[in-house]
Amino acid sequence: MNQKKLFHKIYENVKTILGALVIAVFIRTLIFQPFYIPSSSMEPTLLIGDRIFVSKYTYGISKHSFPFSPNFSKKRFFYKQPSQGDLVVFKTPADNRTDYIKRLVGLPGDEIQFIDGSIYINKQKINREKINKVNKVRCGKFSFEVDTYLETLPNGAKNIAVYNKAGTLMNTKKFIVPKDNFFLLGDNRDCSKDSRYLDSVGYVNFINLVGKAQIIFFSNDTLKSSILKFWNIKNSFRFDRFLRIIK
């Protein structure tokens, strides 16, 4: 192979690789991005070891839509406000780097408060029905028994939430959601760091929204399989969760 042909082959390979990278970045930035669920704060909706696809276009584009969150603008383009009940991935306001996923409960201007263990939005108690779908959930490496409810938010969106039987958060102060911000909660209400904790998460600005969780494409129980338990990896697969639409 002469030098000219070699150069042409290298050029074509580099062009193909760069083209693939551009397409991958475009898809990741504007269409879908995969995420891994490392914690139990969204049980029973999302489990540790779930891999999900998040739609990046649903709420528009901001700096956090791009890898490494380049600080090129403080605006959000093609913005569409999320709805109550959405499962939202966002950058935590504390560092603008860490990805969290929680359920959106409060919109800008809403008043949120826990009273006697129930959620009140704008002084109206949200409807909830006790169900027997889940009796126990994890909290890190531990687990506890729960009361499980089907909750209905003011816009009609429904979600399952669990509360620790041994003792749950009963009362809080009033949270008034600021303009362009949102109030988000974990479905595992007593094992979630979320908007109730103003010093660590708090209200989430619309710029920090990354996208909406749409589908679980793969899931395995990481407590059953690891490098030290590689022989059990097959039994760790949660086949019933593969390609499951997230609600």
Q: Considering just the CA atoms, what is the radius of gyration of the chain in Å?
A: 21
> Which DSSP letter does residue 156 get?
S
Among the listed residues 41, 65, 195, 225, the single catalytic one is 41
Core vs surface per residue 202-235: b (16+ CB within 10 A) or e: bbbbbbbbbbbbeebebbbbbeebeeeeeeeeee
Identity of the amino acid at 74: K
In the residue annotation, 75 being an active-site residue is answered as: no
Among the listed residues 56, 63, 91, 102, the single catalytic one is 102
> Which DSSP letter does residue 6 get?
H
Identity of the amino acid at 69: S
User: Exposure of 60 by Cβ count < 10 A (0-12 exposed, 13-18 middle, 19+ buried)?
Assistant: middle
| Residue 41: both structure tokens together | 């704060």
Cβ contacts of 39 within 8 Å, gap of 6 or more:
48, 140
Residue spans of alpha helices (H) in 58-192: none
In the residue annotation, 41 being an active-site residue is answered as: yes
Bridge partners, residue 77, by sequence: 61
Alpha carbon distance 224, 234 (integer Å)? 10
The secondary element (H helix, E strand) that includes residue 103 is: strand 99-106
Alpha carbon distance 174, 153 (integer Å)? 18
The secondary element (H helix, E strand) that includes residue 104 is: strand 99-106
Instruction: Name the residues annotated as catalytic.
Output: 41, 102
